[in-house]
Structures are given as C-alpha cells and as structure tokens.
Amino acid sequence: MIKKINTKFIKLIKYYSLINHNLIYENEAINRYKINSNLAIKSSKSGELQALKRLIDSIKNCELKKNSTNIVFSDGNPNAKIMIVGEGPGANEDLEGVPFIGRTGELLDKMLSSINLDRDNVYITNVVNYRPPENRNPTEEEIARYLPYLNKHIEIINPKILILLGSAALNAITGVNQVISNVRGKWIDKKIGRCCTSVIASFHPAFLMRQPDQKKMSWIDLKMIRKKILELKINIGK
C-alpha cells in the first residue's frame, strides 16, 4: 500500500516538473524558448571564439609565434557592442596572454574611462596575436597572414562600433596604406563578413605616450565615440 502511494507521489512530482508550474498557478507561461535561444546565441559565440583561438594557435612556421611565450587573443566582454583593435602584444602582454596590460594598457584604460567605458563594455584584440620580437612593427606579410583571423574575430563579435588604434589596425582593415593623422576623426561604414559596423581610427596609446601633444586630437575622437554610442543607443550597462 505504502509502496503504491510512493510510486503515485513520485509520478505526480515528475508530472509537475514537466508541466509549466507558472501556467497553472500564475496563469502565465514561462518563455522557455526565449531563455534557451539567448543561451544558444551566447554559447555559440563563445564556441566560435574558442574555435578561432584554437585555429590561430595551430598556425605553423610563424616567426612571431616561434619567438613568443603566449598567444594574446582578447580581453573584455565578448557581448560588447564596441570592439577595439590594437597592433600587437608587447612584453607584458606576451607574458600574461592578455592585450593592453602594460603602460600602454594603462593609458588605454584611462582613455576608455574618460568616456565611461571599461573592459566590461568593450572587447579588445590586436592585428597580430603573437608578440613581434623586440617590439618591432608587424610586417605587411604578417599582417596579411593574420587578417583572415582578425576579420573572423570581428564577424563573431559583431560590434556596432569598431575602433582602430594605430596604423597597423587601420591599414589591415581598410587595405590601404594611410597615416592616422589623415583619417582620424571620421566615421566609415564598413561591412566585414556578416558584420556591418561604424569604424573610426585614432592614435595608438603608445604613440600618445611618445607624442603627448596629440592627446587633444585623441580626445576629439573619444568624444565622437561617446556621441556615436548615444546615437546608436548602445547600452553600456552603466
């Protein structure tokens, strides 16, 4: 008799966990489809990022990779609508495997914070993912070799605003040799794979450390970014 009741009780529990409790008691359905689809988007993004990182990590015969300690893939929030592309890792970044963490990174953080941004609402990567020896600039061949990975990276993140810091990032993305001072302070609409984004180029923080008088121009660009964030109604979560 007791065994029969127990079996019935267990069946009842199973039944209630199968049906929508809210529908019965609150007259309101749980939107399971929406919750699951959000999770699906996020997990597919992180899966794509992991796959891309593995792909870059499997590069063969690369001088940059041979001479470096770690791959420097990215930092920040993969769901951010603002993406920043720098040039390539320096010594600190190479040791830690994280972009922009040395003195250059400190200046970048200050620049971001001046327009209410930080690494929780931006996503950061570089043109090349391994440190160029002696902090030299990446060569044109190296930039070309890493460009398909960078394009894929941008496509996965799908930012509404893409900030190119320095001429390596500018030239990689536009495919034209230009100097930052001639193209900074302008928005360009660009399609990279499936991603349609507003692009702005500005001075690299390492350049600003060498030429502090250019910080006033950089500030103009930062204010343009702040304005664009408002125009595009980007939620920076603050």
Question: What does the binding site for ligand URA look like in residue numbers (CB under 6 A)?
Answer: 86-90, 93, 99-100, 104, 126, 206
- Pick between residue 93 and residue 221 the one whose CB is nearest to ligand URA: 93
Which residue shows structure tokens 């891309």?
A: 52
- Pick between residue 97 and residue 185 the one whose CB is nearest to ligand URA: 97
Which of 144, 170, 159 is CA-nearest to residue 87? 170
- H or E segment to which residue 104 belongs: helix 103-113
Strands 82-86, 123-126: pairing is: parallel
Q: How far from chain centre, in Å, is Cα 9?
A: 51
Q: Are 45 and 78 in contact (CB under 8 A)?
A: yes
- Pick between residue 82 and residue 206 the one whose CB is nearest to ligand URA: 206
- Provide the 3-class DSSP secondary structure of residue 123: strand
Residue 92: CB minimum distance to ligand URA, A: 8
Residue 61: CB minimum distance to ligand URA, A: 23
Say how far apart CA 96 and CA 228 lie, in whole Å: 33
Residue 60: CB minimum distance to ligand URA, A: 23
Q: Is 15 exposed, middle or buried (0-12, 13-18, 19+ CB in 10 A)?
A: exposed
Please tell me what DSSP assigns to residue 102. S
Show Cβ contacts of residue 100 under 8 Å, excluding neighbours closer than 6 positions. Answer: 75, 86, 93, 108, 109, 124, 205
- Pick between residue 124 and residue 222 the one whose CB is nearest to ligand URA: 124
Residue 116: CB minimum distance to ligand URA, A: 22
- Pick between residue 15 and residue 117 the one whose CB is nearest to ligand URA: 117
Say how far apart CA 198 and CA 82 lie, in whole Å: 10
Residue 44: CB minimum distance to ligand URA, A: 26
Which residue is closest to ligand URA by CB?
A: 86
Residue 169: CB minimum distance to ligand URA, A: 8
- Pick between residue 159 and residue 166 the one whose CB is nearest to ligand URA: 166
